[in-house]
Amino acid sequence: MRATDDGATWVRKRAFQPGACQYSALLAIGRDEYALLYEGPDEAITFACLDLDWILSR
């Protein structure tokens, strides 16, 4: 999945948590599995595990 206009728009959009978050890092951790590390609105560092099916769903 990638933008075709230098990141201005995306074919699919997913929000794993509503609201602001920052300093995110996304890492492939297995076949169709990704680890997401981010700072949420309460400034806590949070780890989430996402699978490709969820990422690509609408």
Place of tokens 């206009």: 5
**Spans of the chain, pLDDT less than 70:** 1-3, 7, 10, 12-13, 58
The pLDDT of residue 49 is 92
The pLDDT of residue 21 is 80
Give the chain's length.
58
The pLDDT of residue 2 is 57
Query: Distances from the Cα of 9 to the Cαs of 3, 16, 18, 37, in angstroms?
Result: 6, 18, 19, 23
CB of 40 within 8 A of CB of 47? no
Reduced to 3 states (helix: H, G, I; strand: E, B; else coil), residue 44 is coil
Beta bridge partners of 34: 28, 50
